């Protein structure tokens, strides 16, 4: 089981070790950071995050509740209280040997619970590059639906990457989790 805990400056070193090549960083963050990640580059990222009084972005480390080991990173940002919407960004299963073990699903499901139950959001979206089949399958298993495709949206090297837009609505999430009544 995965639990989410606030990502803080104490977690910078772990994240910098995981994001160890430029392509991975671009997949994880788009053009938000420059490679290599640095503490200075990450400090602005957490500034003002995880503030329940100003809920615009929540950044988490994912912890395996059995072992207490940090296994990933995920954030929920772009939160609009007016539209009751948010966007999952920067999803990363840390150690590549841990991939394909349900960690991504655990992280996403935990974040959806926070978004729909705690923050009372109506819609949560995300974008995923079309070549990331494992992530696409993870999001589909969590209840997301493909909503659109943005062709050649990011340039990498001599080529371009296409982004798939996905979303899930609160009633779709509740249908998958009937044990979670509306508050």
Gap between the Cα atoms of 37 and 41, Å rounded = 6
From the list 123, 39, 40, 51, the residue with the least C-alpha distance to 88 is: 123
pLDDT, average across residues 83-98: 87
pLDDT grade for 181, boundaries at 50, 70 and 90:
low
Environment class of 41 (CB within 10 Å of its CB; exposed 0-12, middle 13-18, buried 19+): middle
> Considering the domain 2-176, what is its CATH architecture?
3-Layer(aba) Sandwich (3.40)
What digits encode the pLDDT tens for the residues 105-154? 999 999 999 999 999 999 999 999 999 999 999 999 999 999 999 999 99
What digits encode the pLDDT tens for the residues 23-74? 999 999 888 888 899 999 899 899 889 887 777 899 999 999 999 999 999 9
pLDDT at 41: 87
> Does residue 183 register a pLDDT over 50?
no
Query: Is this prediction's pTM over 0.95?
Result: no
Q: Which two tokens stand for residue 183?
A: 């508050």
Q: Which two tokens stand for residue 167?
A: 């979303």
Q: Which two tokens stand for residue 156?
A: 């990498």
> Does residue 180 register a pLDDT over 80?
no
Q: How many CB atoms lie within 10 A of CB 48?
A: 10
Gap between the Cα atoms of 146 and 148, Å rounded = 6
User: Domain extents for the chain?
Assistant: 2-176
pLDDT at 34: 87
pLDDT at 30: 83
Q: What are the backbone angles phi and psi of residue 31, rounded to the nearest 5°?
A: -110, 25
| Cβ proximity of 103 and 71 under 8 Å | yes
Gap between the Cα atoms of 58 and 77, Å rounded = 6
């Amino acid at each position: 089981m995965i639990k989410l805990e606030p990502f803080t400056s104490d977690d910078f070193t772990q994240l910098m070790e995981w994001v160890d090549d430029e392509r991975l960083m671009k997949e994880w963050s788009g053009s938000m950071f420059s490679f290599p990640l640095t503490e200075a580059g990450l400090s602005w990222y957490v500034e003002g995050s995880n503030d329940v009084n100003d809920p615009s972005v929540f950044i988490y480390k994912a912890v395996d509740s059995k072992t207490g080991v940090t296994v990933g990173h995920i954030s929920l940002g772009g939160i609009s209280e007016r539209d009751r919407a948010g966007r999952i960004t920067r999803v990363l299963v840390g150690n590549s040997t841990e991939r394909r073990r349900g960690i991504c699903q655990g992280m996403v499901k935990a974040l959806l619970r926070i978004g729909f139950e705690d923050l009372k959001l109506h819609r949560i979206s995300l974008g995923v590059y079309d070549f990331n089949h494992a992530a696409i399958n993870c999001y589909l298993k969590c209840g997301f639906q493909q909503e659109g495709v943005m062709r050649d949206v990011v340039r990498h090297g001599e080529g371009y990457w296409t982004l798939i837009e996905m979303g899930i609505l609160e009633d779709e999430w509740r249908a998958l989790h009937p044990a979670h009544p509306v508050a």
